[in-house]
Each structure stands twice: as structure tokens, then as C-alpha cells.
């Protein structure tokens, strides 16, 4: 493992992707920035973080023969790594909000962005970006619905200590992925899904409201919601949200 530390950068994912494109890069190279000025989330969203307060880092990993149709298992692997790290730190009420937000109670404590490189229909490598709110204070009414480790435990935590825990969990789970322990990864993910099997009001990206409950993830990685009439609908990223 190689860890590169930078004071400031626009996006750790963007920088690490360029490194991988322009040179041979060691597997499990980690790029950690104290200040990320243009952090990115899913589908053109932004990740906002105060300088030096939170963890913003990306990891380059080579993937061994994972078909693109199985990319959801890589997502499970990464989300579980952050989830398990926070559980080890005894942060309460941690869950995974599909596809890859980590929640502490009803508020977001971490976000993940995975960008894959393909050879044919196979994922050959990935840049895994992780943002984790650690020492930044958030009010309970903040627009981002964010929360930090400090908000939960009431004191600051050394960033390098949390980074070390997350990376160890990630190495272990990537090893499970390489061994093709796919069913086990999915079961572990489904067991800790945010609001799974709980009736909720949802809103589609067409602004249609409906009642339903999350029951799982489809083979293609879509969110499965059972409606009141007991039919099952599947939704992609940003196609549905809690109302």
C-alpha cells in the first residue's frame, strides 16, 4: 500500500484517475487530501468539506475478472468497509443507504464515488473515492442533512487513525470480492440497508409520490421497492428518493 498525502487538490478521484492513465501505478495506491476543493459525488453532485476537518481520499485498485454486470458487488464491498470501520469505532445507528451513502441515524456521515475502467465487459481497475465527515461540526438543521463523528461522540478524532481502519476493512472486503464470496457480500449489505422493510413515502424523479418499502437490490444493482399492491418496482440511481 502506498499513501500519497496532499495539502489541497480539486478532486482526489480525478487526480488519481489521471495518474493511472499516464503511468504505471501501484495497486492500492491511496491519495489523501487535506483540502478537496471540487469533491464529486454520484451523478454530478458535489461533496463539500471543510479544510483539514474530514477524510477525503481515493484508492486505486486493480480488479480481478469482475464482469460489469457484477459491479454492484464492488459497491457492496466498499460501502461495507466504511460501515464496518464506523461500527468498530462504536458509532451508533450506522446503516447503508442505497447505493452507497453511509448514515448515522437519519443523517449522512459518508459518501462514496466509484469510477471503473473497463476492458471489454470486464472491470479491470477502479478508483474508489470516499468522503467521511470526522471533525466538522454540523447543526441538526443543516441543508446537507450531514453529521460527523465529532457530532456523535463529542470529541475530535485523529484522521489518520480512521483512515487506517477504513483501509484495513477495504483490503479485507476486496479480498472477499476476489475470492468471489458474492452471496456473502450481498447478504451482509442487505442486512444493514437503511430503512429496509420499513414502509415509507417515496418520490420519483417525475415528482410522483407513492408508498412502498425497500426489499433489496436487483441483479443489475437497482433498488427494489415493494408497492402497496405488492408489486415490485426497480429504480436506478437518482430515479427515486425518500419524500
CATH at residue 163 = 3.30.930.10
Give 28: exposed, middle or buried? Use CB within 10 Å, 0-12, 13-18, 19+: middle
Domain span at 215 = 198-242
Q: Which of the listed residues 192, 208, 230 is the one where a domain comes to its end?
A: 192
Helix axes 159-178, 71-88, angle to 10 degrees: 140
Please report, rounded to a whole number, the percentage of residues in the chain having pLDDT higher than 90.
84
CATH of the domain at 237: 2.30.30
Clarify whether residues 182 and 204 are in a common domain.
no
pLDDT digits (tens, 9 = 90+) for 13-52: 999 999 988 888 999 999 999 988 765 655 555 656 788 9
What digits encode the pLDDT tens for the residues 111-167? Answer: 999 999 999 999 999 999 999 999 999 988 778 899 999 999 999 999 999 999 999
Question: Which element (helix H / strand E) includes 129?
Answer: strand 122-132
Residues 29 and 138 in one domain: yes
Is residue 118 located within the same domain as residue 223? Answer: no
* Whether 188 and 131 share a structural domain: yes
The domain total for the chain is: 2
Question: Cα(134)–Cα(56) distance, rounded to whole angstroms?
Answer: 10
Instruction: Look over the chain and give the mean of its residue pLDDT values, rounded to a whole number.
Output: 93
Identify the bridge partners of residue 233 per DSSP, sorted by sequence position: 225
Whether 76 and 142 share a structural domain: yes
Residues 209 and 187 in one domain: no
Q: Output the nine-digit C-alpha cell for 199.
A: 414502509
**Pair (187, 235) in one structural domain:** no
Residue 208 and residue 164 share a domain: no
**Confidence grade of residue 98 (pLDDT, cut at 50, 70, 90):** very high
Cα distances (Å, whole numbers) of residue 44 to 71, 116, 168: 20, 16, 29
Amino acid at each position: 500500500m502506498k499513501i500519497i498525502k496532499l495539502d489541497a487538490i480539486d478532486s482526489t478521484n480525478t487526480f488519481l484517475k489521471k495518474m493511472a492513465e499516464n503511468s504505471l501505478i501501484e495497486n492500492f495506491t491511496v491519495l489523501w487530501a487535506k483540502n478537496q476543493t471540487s469533491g464529486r459525488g454520484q451523478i454530478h453532485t458535489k461533496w463539500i468539506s471543510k479544510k483539514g476537518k474530514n477524510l477525503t481520499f481515493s484508492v486505486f485498485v486493480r480488479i480481478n475478472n469482475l464482469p460489469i454486470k457484477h459491479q454492484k458487488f464492488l459497491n457492496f464491498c466498499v460501502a461495507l468497509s466504511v460501515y464496518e470501520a464506523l461500527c468498530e469505532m462504536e458509532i451508533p445507528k450506522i446503516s447503508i443507504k442505497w447505493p452507497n451513502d453511509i448514515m448515522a441515524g437519519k443523517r449522512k456521515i459518508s459518501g462514496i464515488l466509484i469510477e471503473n475502467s473497463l476492458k471489454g465487459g470486464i472491470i479491470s481497475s477502479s478508483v474508489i473515492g470516499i468522503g467521511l465527515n470526522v471533525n466538522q461540526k454540523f447543526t441538526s438543521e443543516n441543508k446537507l442533512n450531514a453529521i460527523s463523528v465529532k457530532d456523535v461522540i463529542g470529541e475530535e478524532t485523529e484522521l489518520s487513525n480512521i483512515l487506517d481502519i477504513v483501509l484495513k476493512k477495504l483490503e479485507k472486503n476486496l479480498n472477499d470480492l476476489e475470492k468471489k464470496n458474492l452471496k456473502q457480500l450481498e447478504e451482509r449489505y442487505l442486512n444493514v440497508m437503511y430503512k429496509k422493510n420499513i414502509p415509507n413515502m417515496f418520490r420519483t424523479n417525475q415528482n410522483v409520490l407513492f408508498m412502498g418499502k425497500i426489499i433489496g437490490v436487483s441483479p443489475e444493482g437497482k433498488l427494489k421497492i415493494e408497492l402497496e399492491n405488492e408489486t415490485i418496482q426497480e429504480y436506478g440511481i437518482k430515479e427515486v428518493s425518500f419524500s
